[in-house]
Structure 1
Amino acid sequence: MKQAVLSFLRGGGSALPGYRLALGVTLLWTGVFIVLPLCALIIRPWQDGVGAMVAATHDTRMFAALWTSFSSAFLAALLNVPLGLLLAGALVRGDLPGRKIADALIDLPLALPTAVSGITLATLYGPQGWLGAPLAKLGLVLAYSRTGIVLALMFVGLPFVVRTVEPVLKNLPRDMEEAAVLLGARPWQVVTRVVIAPLLPALVTGFGLAFARGVGEYGSVIFIAGNQPFKSEIAPLLIVVRLQEFDYAGATAIALILLLTSLLALVLVSLVRRRLSVWGEQR
């Protein structure tokens, strides 16, 4: 028995020493910190019975908050795709001064605490902000509206698109572009068929990651959203409101919907990415 345990810990016939031990620790860590909380979130809404779950989902305020979160996250991720592509192209192909500083600033939204990002955006785009005040004179109100939510989600989700596209663009051979030009391709044909076409799987992946992050974003949004029910209230904020009201069934029901939506988005993105990869290979 002792020899069997030692053989398992050492990896048995594996070429890597300690492979099974490392595998066991990894599976244990994944189960305790990822799988177990997700299972608890899936099971918890049904503990009070199906009736309580159904009653919790019959809430017009909840549907309004979910629609605000989903639509804002989708629009922000969609706008981040061309912006992230341009930034990735500038970082990879451009030779601009301060490129390394700009490269480091791309990851700043991921490093900053979300509350700091939210306060900064609210201060910048608020009615008295550096950008909010002149825009308000033009009739453009960005803060405390859905537009402010989209801006905050674009700020948070942009690094996902840039960092997903950047390595693919860096490994894209420029010989293909030169060959296309020599064969008589126009500039827009070179961009769309030679450059963007191989980047489609990466763009779809970046879009999916930005959308999934935006659906559950809280700290960077609440300071600029206005948080008006049925207008600019996001679903994560409504979860906090339901917890403060001791409505645990309602809070977990919203959380479950957000979880399933994010998982579904990632699964669809994976399927689309595979199809685009196969299509690219066939071309």
Structure 2
Amino acid sequence: MSHRTSPVIPGFGLTLGYTISYLALIVLIPLGAMLIYSLQMTAEQWWSLISSRQVLFSLKLSFGTALFAALLNGVLGTVLAWVLVRYRFPGRRIIDAMVDMPFALPTAVAGIALTSLYAPNGLIGSLFPFKIAYTPLGITLALVFVTLPFVVRTLQPVLADIPKEIEEAATCLGARPLQVFRHVLLPSLLPAWVTGFALAFARGVGEYGSVVFIAGNIPLKTEILPLLIVSKLDQYDYKGATGIGVLMLAVSFVLLLLINLLQRRLQPQN
């Protein structure tokens, strides 16, 4: 006699249907409409668009600065998360709250503030013999600012779940600090670090508000892909704007797929 087992989550069919419907309305239908609209372009128009010097430069600039900013935040965010989790000091709660400031601050306001500070005549920019604003360095700086919380907030709970006793035991057994980090902490931190890196990278690729001011928007020098899309829309070139959007979507999907596959390989085996 067979017995039917009840599902762990009641109403699975209803919740699954709601999830799929919500995902379709918010994500799949808009992306599908963009793909369908881009099919109005001929193969020659597609090739002319994606092979143009302006688009290729903006593609390299957007993904290059986003990648570098995500890697830099991978280091800075790890150190910051470690300090906030492992140490207790005056002002810790204030610093912890300030980590989320890029989430609460409008990106346009952040861009204006960064530009005024790092412009050649700005409070900080005037101290350097080279330009920061209106260069790829300024774009990277803005992306570091807006994507830092993703790495910190992803690593904090993982670090909090690692008992200090494990590190102390490894130290008592003669392990050096670098060995403790490599063999004890890194296996647990690496999957979360890759997740934080992927979130920061994805946010950086599509960032517009905080970058548009400090970039200077100089064609073939500091023009990012989101700005190029807006420029196409201002010129009523909707097909060109949609084509660039599809190009960004395709490249981002491939990169994020590779990152997710890497994350799965890094997951500890049970």
Q: Same fold (TM over 0.5)?
A: yes
Report whether the alignment pairs 1:95 with 2:88: yes
What letter is aligned with 2:41?
D
Report whether the alignment pairs 1:60 with 2:72: no
1:183-208 CA-to-partner distances (Å, cap 9, x unmatched) read 10112211222223321111111111
Provide the C-alpha distance between the structure 2 equivalents of 1:143 and 1:52, rounded to a whole number of angstroms: 35
1:157-192 CA-to-partner distances (Å, cap 9, x unmatched) read 111111111111110122221111111011221122
TM normalised by structure 2 equals 0.92
Q: Which deviates the most, 27-36 or 260-269?
A: 260-269
1:114 counterpart residue number: 107
Query: Contact 1:46–1:53 (CA<8 Å) still a contact in 2?
Result: no
1:172 counterpart residue number: 162
2:3 counterpart residue number: none
Query: Contact 1:227–1:233 (CA<8 Å) still a contact in 2?
Result: yes
1:214 counterpart residue number: 204
Provide the C-alpha distance between the structure 2 equivalents of 1:158 and 1:270, rounded to a whole number of angstroms: 20
What letter is aligned with 2:190?
L
Deviation, 1:210, is 0.8
Q: Report the CA distance shift for 1:123/1:36 in structure 2 as closer, same or farther (over 3 A).
A: same
Map 1:97-176 → 2, pairs under 5 A: 97-135=90-128, 139-176=129-166
TM normalised by structure 1 equals 0.88
Number of aligned pairs? 265
Provide the C-alpha distance between the structure 2 equivalents of 1:85 and 1:17, rounded to a whole number of angstroms: 39
Map 1:22-101 → 2, pairs under 5 A: 22-101=15-94
237, 247, 258: which one aligns with 2:237: 247
What letter is aligned with 2:226?
P
What letter is aligned with 1:125?
Y
1:13-44 CA-to-partner distances (Å, cap 9, x unmatched) read 75756554343333222111111011112222
Report whether the alignment pairs 1:263 with 2:244: no
Deviation, 1:225, is 0.8
1:183 counterpart residue number: 173
For residue 95 of structure 1, give the secondary structure of its aligned residue in structure 2. Answer: coil
1:192 counterpart residue number: 182
Deviation, 1:49, is 2.8
Provide the C-alpha distance between the structure 2 equivalents of 1:48 and 1:75, rounded to a whole number of angstroms: 33
Superposed CA RMSD: 1.7
Deviation, 1:131, is 1.1
Query: Contact 1:73–1:211 (CA<8 Å) still a contact in 2?
Result: yes
Query: Contact 1:52–1:249 (CA<8 Å) still a contact in 2?
Result: no
Deviation, 1:76, is 0.6
Structure 2 portions without partners, runs of 5+: 1-5
Query: Contact 1:165–1:202 (CA<8 Å) still a contact in 2?
Result: yes
Moved over 6 A (4+): none
Query: Contact 1:53–1:249 (CA<8 Å) still a contact in 2?
Result: no
Q: Which deviates the most, 269-278 or 153-162?
A: 269-278
Query: Contact 1:242–1:251 (CA<8 Å) still a contact in 2?
Result: yes
